[in-house]
């Protein structure tokens, strides 16, 4: 444990922050009784199993077992060391960091490396914005952005800047400020040629800073000016993967949009950062975007932790529609309600707003967002060229496959009627064809059926029906630990009366922590005890035990019964071993080659029987 002064400061920070507020920035929490529930940020799930206890200030996931206090949550979610998490929470609470603690935090090489990279990224963002707004180098880019309708306020809000068309503009500035150029290459701000020459990664581009969930600049998206686009260079260029930046787990503008999407319980998902900036300026502050890659499962899970529903607003061209189809599947897998906003062919959201205005975007695009089935049918039609009746029949069969996937009979009937009207068909004939297609689908599913994947003991959101009952001694150990965390007298009694160690090693280790915790004069508080535990796996165990639904008042008799279960387990285990030994001796005697061997084995069995009787009597008396 840390020293006395350090402990006082840690407790001051822990008392000053509310775990509900901290976790709530990453997980959409809903109150349920005394706890708050949400989707676990540490594993994929469809039904909430992540619990946060506001009274005790700890969390536990019953799906993956993750658990701990506010410090361990921040350490796991942001991949921070304890000193880093401590400093972050102290700054959040407005508590001054003692000099001693500052030195301790600087001892971590990984922390220092990330801090240097963050400082360099923020410096680069400030420099690029200064170039755009205050120097002749950025004049053309500023005119370009102004022509595209971006206001000065928007440029400031998103820290948009410009990287001059120079090989060493940023390189020189970073070198003058004593940043290691090799570290800057690792951070993704600079690049290195095969010959070892270091140069600016971004040149002649409008720069869009990419921030993490807390608003720290961790990368950039650079867009070539339309007047200077080179065929050999991509129109958009993002920072490469680095210790700070993971494209698959980052969403552009999430930190800025999060309060709004939480309030509205809905987000707008775009393909690029320009669309987000444009719609934000137009009065739609719910926009987030992927970063030049297809939507990932990680990104979908991040979205689901914040909202229940999402509107997809990808480009109106063929590539955008194809990307929409792929994104729908991933978002549905994350259990999000999805609608698709229609855009004219060859138009992106930024183009649409500049051409038609914010009101039209609201009325004709966002308010016209269609359900997934309607989009899939529309997308299906665009893929078919109908030359004859056979082509029409093929399209209708595919359309019915999509409609048959709907759970609601009302929705199925609605789409069947639309399809019948569109192709001048009898509704009865269409329904007959729908049944035929359904039977074919069912037959194919049965033929190709494979065992469904399990997800942390959750199968399609339903817990398995058959659960193995735990042995009585394990239940007894868990119950004792539950009450020991809440009552020092019970912990003392267990320490004095338990003749045997807890049989589960983790339980025994946690009990040892409890004895030490109370010996140091700490209070009866599960939340503080969880923070006291240093081992991560034991911290998770403690949080899970503390979350158990048990009655608050327990009698001395009940505690005595639990202690008896623990004390008797070694005897019961020995009894089972002796019974098995006796069975084995009887079998050997039956198969013995000689009478003498048989008698000898029977004598051994009888001796074992006496031991069994003595143990049985001891258990009855105990």
pLDDT category, 290, cuts 50, 70, 90?
very high
Q: Which helix (H) or strand (E) holds 617?
A: helix 595-621
State residue 462's pLDDT score. Answer: 37
State residue 227's pLDDT score. Answer: 62
State residue 454's pLDDT score. Answer: 35
Residues 479 and 523 sit within 8 Å (Cβ to Cβ): no
pLDDT category, 522, cuts 50, 70, 90?
confident
Provide the mean pLDDT of the chain: 84
Alpha carbon 418 to its chain's center: 40
pLDDT category, 467, cuts 50, 70, 90?
very low
Homologous superfamily (CATH) of 6-93 is: Zinc finger, CHC2-typedomain (3.90.580.10)
State residue 495's pLDDT score. Answer: 87
Mean pLDDT of 428-452: 74
Ranges 284-293, 302-311, 396-405, 439-448: which has the least confidence: 439-448
pLDDT tops 90 at residue 564 = no
State residue 188's pLDDT score. Answer: 95
Give just the sign of the alpha carbon dihedral 545, 551, 554, 558.
negative
Residues 458 and 49 sit within 8 Å (Cβ to Cβ): yes
| Percent of the residues in the chain that have a pLDDT greater than 90, as a whole number | 34
Strand, helix or coil for residue 84: helix
Mean pLDDT of 244-266: 91
State residue 164's pLDDT score. Answer: 95
Digit-coded pLDDT (tens) for 592-614: 788 887 788 787 877 777 877 77
Mean pLDDT of 13-21: 90
pLDDT tops 90 at residue 500 = no
The CATH fold of domain 255-372: Dna Topoisomerase Vi A Subunit; Chain: A, domain 2 (3.40.1360)
Q: In angstroms, rounded to a whole number, what is the distance separating the alpha carbons of residues 465 and 467? A: 6
State residue 93's pLDDT score. Answer: 84
Digit-coded pLDDT (tens) for 103-118: 444 456 877 898 899 9
Digit-coded pLDDT (tens) for 391-438: 888 888 888 888 888 888 888 899 889 988 888 888 888 889 888 888
Q: In angstroms, rounded to a whole number, what is the distance separating the alpha carbons of residues 566 and 477? A: 7
State residue 91's pLDDT score. Answer: 86
Q: In angstroms, rounded to a whole number, what is the distance separating the alpha carbons of residues 518 and 488? A: 7
Domain boundaries, given as residue ranges, for the chain: 6-93, 109-238, 255-372, 379-446, 569-621
Mean pLDDT of 241-261: 92
Q: In angstroms, rounded to a whole number, what is the distance separating the alpha carbons of residues 64 and 52? A: 14
State residue 452's pLDDT score. Answer: 41
Digit-coded pLDDT (tens) for 329-352: 999 888 899 999 989 888 899 999
State residue 99's pLDDT score. Answer: 59
Mean pLDDT of 563-585: 76
Ranges 81-85, 171-175, 479-483: which has the least confidence: 81-85
Mean pLDDT of 300-314: 91
Contacts of 383 (CB under 8 A, 6+ apart): none
- The angle formed by the CA atoms of residues 33, 335 and 269, to the nearest 5 degrees, is 115
Is the pTM higher than 0.85? The answer reads: no
Give just the sign of the alpha carbon dihedral 54, 56, 57, 58.
negative
Q: Please indicate whether residue 620 or residue 561 has the higher confidence score (pLDDT).
A: 561
Contacts of 134 (CB under 8 A, 6+ apart): none
Mean pLDDT of 357-386: 89
Mean pLDDT of 268-282: 94
pLDDT category, 228, cuts 50, 70, 90?
low
Mean pLDDT of 5-24: 84
State residue 436's pLDDT score. Answer: 86
The region that residue 208 occupies, defined by phi over 0 for left and psi between -120 and 50 for alpha, beta otherwise, is beta
pLDDT tops 60 at residue 450 = no
The CATH fold of domain 109-238: DNA primase DNAg catalytic core, N-terminal domain (3.90.980)
């Amino acid at each position: 444990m840390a020293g006395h002064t350090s402990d006082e400061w840690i407790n001051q920070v822990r008392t000053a922050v509310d775990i509900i507020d901290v976790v709530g920035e990453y997980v959409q929490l809903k109150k349920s009784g005394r706890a708050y529930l949400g989707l676990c940020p540490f594993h994929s799930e469809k039904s909430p199993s992540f619990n946060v206890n506001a009274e005790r200030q700890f969390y536990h996931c019953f799906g993956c077992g993750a658990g701990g206090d506010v410090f361990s949550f921040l350490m796991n979610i942001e991949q921070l060391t304890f000193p880093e998490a401590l400093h972050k929470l102290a700054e959040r609470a407005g508590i001054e960091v003692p000099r001693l603690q500052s030195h301790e935090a600087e001892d971590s090489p990984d922390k220092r490396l990330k801090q240097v990279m963050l400082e360099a990224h923020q410096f680069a963002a400030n420099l690029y914005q200064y170039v755009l707004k205050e120097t002749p180098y950025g004049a053309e880019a500023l005119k370009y952005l102004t022509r595209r309708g971006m206001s000065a306020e928007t440029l400031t809000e998103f820290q948009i800047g410009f990287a001059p068309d120079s090989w060493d503009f940023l390189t020189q500035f970073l070198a003058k400020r004593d940043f290691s150029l090799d570290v800057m290459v690792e951070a993704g701000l600079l690049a290195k040629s095969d010959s070892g020459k270091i140069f600016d990664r971004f040149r002649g581009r409008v720069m869009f800073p990419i921030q993490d969930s807390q608003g720290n600049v961790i990368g950039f998206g650079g867009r070539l000016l339309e007047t200077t686009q080179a065929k050999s260079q991509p129109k958009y260029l993002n920072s490469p993967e680095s210790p700070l930046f993971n494209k698959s787990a980052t969403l552009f503008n999430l930190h800025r949009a999060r309060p709004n999407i939480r309030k509205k319980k809905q987000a707008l998902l775009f393909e690029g950062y320009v669309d987000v900036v444009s719609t934000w300026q137009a009065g739609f502050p719910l926009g987030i975007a992927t970063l030049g890659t297809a939507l990932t499962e990680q990104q979908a899970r991040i979205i689901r932790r914040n909202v229940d529903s999402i509107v997809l607003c990808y480009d109106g061209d063929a590539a955008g529609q194809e990307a929409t189809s792929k994104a729908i599947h991933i978002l549905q897998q994350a259990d999000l309600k999805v609608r698709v906003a229609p855009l004219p062919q060859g138009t992106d959201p930024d183009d649409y707003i500049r051409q038609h205005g914010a009101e039209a975007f609201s009325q004709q695009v966002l308010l016209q967002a269609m359900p997934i089935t309607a989009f899939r049918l529309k997308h299906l039609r665009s893929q078919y060229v109908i030359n004859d009746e056979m082509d029409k029949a093929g399209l209708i069969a595919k359309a019915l496959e999509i409609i048959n996937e709907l759970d609601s009979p009302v929705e199925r009937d609605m789409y069947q009627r639309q399809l019948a009207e569109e192709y001048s068909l009898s509704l009865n004939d269409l329904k007959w064809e729908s049944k035929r297609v359904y039977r074919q689908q069912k037959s194919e599913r049965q033929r190709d059926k494979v065992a469904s994947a399990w997800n942390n003991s959750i199968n399609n959101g339903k817990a398995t029906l058959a659960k193995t009952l735990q042995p009585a001694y394990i239940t007894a150990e868990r119950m004792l630990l539950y009450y020991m965390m809440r009552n020092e007298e019970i912990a003392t009694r267990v320490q004095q009366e338990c003749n045997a160690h807890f049989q589960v090693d983790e339980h025994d280790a946690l009990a040892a922590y409890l004895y030490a915790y109370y010996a140091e004069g700490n209070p009866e508080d599960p939340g503080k005890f969880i923070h006291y535990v240093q081992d991560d796996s034991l911290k998770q165990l403690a949080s899970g035990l503390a979350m158990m639904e048990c009655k608050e008042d327990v009698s001395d008799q009940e505690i005595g019964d639990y202690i008896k279960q623990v004390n008797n387990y070694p005897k019961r285990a020995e009894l089972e071993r002796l019974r098995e030994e006796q069975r084995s001796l009887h079998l050997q005697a039956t198969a013995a080659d000689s009478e003498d061997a048989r008698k000898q084995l029977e004598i051994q069995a009888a001796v074992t029987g006496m031991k069994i009787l003595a143990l049985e009597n001891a258990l009855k008396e105990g």
